[in-house]
Structures are given as C-alpha cells and as structure tokens.
Amino acid sequence: MSTPRTIAFIGAGNMANAIIGGMLENGFNADNLWVSAPDDSHLQRIRKQSGVSVTTDNRYCAQQADIIVLAVKPQIMRSVCEEIAPVVQNTRPLIVSIAAGLEVDTLDGWLGGGMPIVRCMPNTPSLVGKGSAGLYATDSVGDDQRKAVTAIFEGVGIALWVPDEAMLHSITALSGSAPAYFFLMLEAMEEAGDELGVEREQARWLAIQTMAGAAEMARRGPDEPAQLKRNVMSPGGTTEKAVETFEDGDLRGLVRRACQAVIKHSKAMAAQLRDNAS
C-alpha cells in the first residue's frame, strides 16, 4: 500500500495521544484514524478533542485498519493480540508495537503468525513533539509501509531505523531511558544552585534554558560535541575547571555503565516476557 487508508490505535494512553496529535498536526486526516480503549468516557474526550473515530471494541477497531498501532502495556499485550488475531489474519494489516521488551516473534505468535510487524522504541519527549524513536521491521514489511511508519513517528520527533532487533536494547539506553539522565542532571544543577545561594526556581530555569540552548547549538551546527565543548572553554578558565572535575569524576565511565545497566535489564525483561509467552 502506498498510502494507508486507516490507522488504528489500540490503547489510548499518553504516548498514543501524543502520536495522534503529531499526526494530525502533520496533515493526517482525522477521518482515517481510529482509537480503541476500554474507558468510553476517555475515548469520548479524545474524539471531541481530535475528531478521530473511537470504539471500545478492539476487534472492530482493528478491522478498519491498514496499520494497527499496539499501544497497550506489555502485561496485557497477549490478551489484546489474541483478541484481534482472527481479524488481522483475515485483513493482513501492518502491525506496529510500541510496547517495550516484547519481541516480534512473540507478538507474531500471539497474532496468529505471518504478520508484517514493526517494533518501535519511542521516548517521553514525544509528548511535546521532541521525541526520538528507534524502529525495527521484519522482512515482510514493505518500503511503502516503512515510509508510512516513519511519517507517523516523525510527527512527534525523529525516527531512526535499525537493522537488528537486538539494537533496540541500545536504543532504549541511548534514547528511551535517556530523558531521565538529563532530568537527573537538571536536578543536580538545581540543588547546586540552591547551595550557592540562587533560588531553586531560578536555578532550575537557568539550567533548563542552558540545556535547551546547548541542545539547539548541537542540533544546528556542524561541530562535533567535543569542539562545541572546547568553544565554551578558555584555557585556565572557569569552564575548564568544571569540565576537569567531571572528567576526574569519570563522568564518561558513569554514562557507559548506566547505558550498559539499561541494556542488561532490557534484555532480562525481554527474556522474562518471552518465557512468560511460551
């Protein structure tokens, strides 16, 4: 298919709503979007806000779709997949899962087998249109389907494809979990500012603006991060002393170990979900 007729979201949580909002802002027609969830009052609020079609019937929602986005928690994914399996085996839509840890083979088995599937690892800045998503597709996913999925997730940020499903563990470490790293840095700077006599709210906003400005400089400019860092540092200056302190404290090693801890735990979670599925 070159242009999806209908995209259905099964699950209506914050991430699903963020993606739908980004799609609508980027020209997707609300008439071509369906959402299902068990809470009808919540669905009616979504319908009034965005104009999409809603239903509490997952099977009916799935039946409308060329693309189905599975946006439910991993703990209930099996029951949802098995519920819609008779429908998708007949209609053969593209399946997109944003559930962490659930591998495509597991999802495919629950859906009855032989389905084209994309796994996505989005992150929470998608809620403000600044997300990043790692994407992996099975061999049966066509080029037009890949383009359609890219368009969906570019509505809330950037979308990057990986050639190996196992690389989604690394994407989790570098992107999925990473907003918390920056919030930790923000928290630490706020606390340091408080100790230095700056009001906590002022310290927070100074840190937020500095982080946002530094990120924008990195995004816009051709320089590598190392050069951008040197551009701020004067030999023997205050910034150099701060950076030396970070280096002496093995900040790079801490970041590596933090990412490795995410990957280790992500793999363990995937293995547990796989064992529970069998």
Q: For the chain, what are the domain ranges?
A: 7-163, 171-269
> CA-to-CA distance for 124 and 15, rounded, in angstroms?
7
CATH assignment of 7-163?
Answer: 3.40.50.720
In this prediction, residue 5 has a pLDDT band, given cuts at 50, 70 and 90, of confident
Residue 73 in marked binding region: yes
91 token code pair: 């209609």
Give the helix/strand (H/E) hosting 160. Answer: strand 157-161
Buried b (16+ CB within 10 A) or exposed e, 241-255: eebeeeeeeeeeeee
Q: What is the DSSP letter of 223?
A: S
Looking at this protein, which amino acid is placed at residue 137? A
Residue 4 in marked binding region: no
Looking at this protein, which amino acid is placed at residue 173? A
As a whole number, the mean pLDDT across the chain is 94
Residue 233 in marked binding region: no
Residue 231 in marked binding region: no
Residue 8 in marked binding region: no
Residue 208 in marked binding region: no
pLDDT digits (tens, 9 = 90+) for 206-229: 999 999 999 999 999 899 999 999
Residue 120 has pLDDT above 70, yes or no: yes
The tokens 């495509």 sit on which residue?
104
List residues bridging with 159 in a β-sheet. Answer: 133
Residue 63 has pLDDT above 80, yes or no: yes
Residue 72 in marked binding region: yes
- Average pLDDT score over residue span 44-63: 97
Residue 42 has pLDDT above 60, yes or no: yes
Residue 176 in marked binding region: no
Residue 74 in marked binding region: yes
pLDDT digits (tens, 9 = 90+) for 246-274: 999 999 999 999 999 999 999 998 898 88
- Average pLDDT score over residue span 98-114: 94
pLDDT of residue 198: 97
Residue partners of 73: CB distance under 8 A and separation at least 6: 11, 99
As a dihedral over the C-alpha atoms of residue 160, residue 164, residue 167, residue 168, rounded to 10 degrees, the angle is 70
CATH C-level class of 171-269: mainly alpha
Residue 196 C-alpha from the chain's centroid: 36
Residue 76 in marked binding region: no
> CA-to-CA distance for 189 and 183, rounded, in angstroms?
10
pLDDT of residue 19: 94
Least confident of 3-7, 30-34, 169-173, 177-181: 3-7
Residue 51 in marked binding region: no
